[in-house]
Amino acid sequence: MRSHVDNVHIQQRCCAILANLACDEAAVSEVADENIVHHLLVTMSKHLKNLEFQEHSCIVLARLALHDRIVHTLLGDPATDIIMRAMQIHCNSSVLYENASVCITLLCKGKPDAFSNYMPSIFALIASNIVSTHNQEPLCVMMASLASDAYIRAENSMVEGVKAVITMMENCPTIANVQKMGCMALRNMSMSENTLGSQTLLENVLQIIFVAMKSHEENAHVQAEGCGAVWSISCYSRNGLDYINRSIRSIITAVQVHQDAQVEEQACGALWSLCVLDHRNKFLIRSMGGIEAIVCAMYICPDSLDFLENVCGLLSTLTENVECANALYSQGIIDVMLETMRNHANVASIQQYCCLAIRNMAAGSNELALALNCSINLIVHAMQKHATAPQVQEEACGALWSLAANANINKGTIVSADGINVISAAMDGNCGEEAACAFAELANFNLS
């Protein structure tokens, strides 16, 4: 290769051999040589218009960039400039874009300075609209991967990254994978509070997510990533609450259409966050058929712990509203919630959120307090099982207090279930007001 730098045919064949070696796990370490990399970059710059050579070169660089010493060499050479020029010239090559995107990701991951130096050229390339639609996907994958790095997504230049992702999603409205990876990228980018500080940018981001979810309603992957993006934005953004609330209908539709644990997990996480942010959203969820969809999802996905944690958290918030609690009761939530507690007795978070939901439901209605008598043994069992988990102890004591205060028959059931002893133990563990109030309520019962 060194002796025939100007002979493109020889270079092309040699590069094809290097590409094959680089894809061989046993041989790649032999190819990972700084001198080979430097020569390859020099040759790439000489033969930029030769597509086959550029494709093979990008394959080699993508494989070699997995080695730290090669990354150091590539960052010292004008590698990204050469790769960018190849991407500009060969904007229709899937092979080149897939491998160039991987290479740039590996060069920038964990290196905010490299990201700030190299990514503006990528953003400009995307904005130029010369990249073919089928090559937007690897660029979205690259942005999603880079934005998963907390240090990189905190960079000021990430705002331009958001705009670039929106552009790609707008350019490829019918390509589901672009919409999926675009939503994933936006979700990761929004985890920095500074990224969506502009009201206009926030609204543009939410609008492109809504469009993606509506256009690909049948695609579970797009729905899961769209719901996840809204969830992340609601957690980290301090602007545009009313606009964020518009996502509720799309999220509920995703739950109704897909019997998919990943969709249900992300959707319930988003709805939970939206309810915490704005109590008005509980009414919206109920009025849009969300209650029925949530209960149905619990029957469909009884073994997905991530989903169950989110949906139980959502229930603990929805039940603060009496109308929502009654609607959940009419849909059979008590049976499915208690079954969840029974089947996942070892999961502290599920026990905690279910106890809080029981507390809320019993506090809002004597009828519900009576109906929840069957939950008492499970609550006591949760306290015994998670004796060292203060959140479980607190919410369980609150549930027993609420059940005892709103239906006298529950007091006898609590006493029979060894409730006095577990509440006393919680008081000794500094559980707080809930344990003291529950104990006082039951002490009056014993005296009578």
**Is 258 a residue whose pLDDT tops 90?**
yes
How far is 309 from 358, CA to CA, in rounded Å? 15
Those residues whose C-beta lies under 8 Å from the C-beta of residue 121, and which sit 6 or more positions away, are 80, 81, 84
How far is 378 from 396, CA to CA, in rounded Å? 10
Closest CA to 331 of 286, 268, 271: 286
Q: Can you give the C-alpha Rg of the chain in angstroms?
A: 28
**Is 448 a residue whose pLDDT tops 60?**
no
Q: Residue 32's pLDDT is what? A: 64
- Residue 71 phi/psi, 5-degree rounding, is -60, -45
How far is 196 from 246, CA to CA, in rounded Å? 17
> pLDDT tens-digit profile of 100-143?
999 999 999 989 999 988 899 999 999 998 999 999 999 999 99
| Residue 346: Cβ-neighbour burial (10 angstroms; 0-12, 13-18, 19+) | exposed
Those residues whose C-beta lies under 8 Å from the C-beta of residue 221, and which sit 6 or more positions away, are 176, 180
For 279, the token pair is: 């109590």
- The answer to whether the pTM exceeds 0.75 is yes
Per-position DSSP letters for 395-427, written without gaps between them = HHHHHHHHHHHH-HHHHHHHHHTTHHHHHHHHH
> pLDDT tens-digit profile of 203-234?
999 999 999 999 999 999 999 999 999 999 99
Residue 31 pLDDT level (bands cut at 50, 70, 90): low
> pLDDT tens-digit profile of 54-87?
998 898 888 888 888 788 888 876 788 899 999 9
Average pLDDT over every residue of 226-244:
90
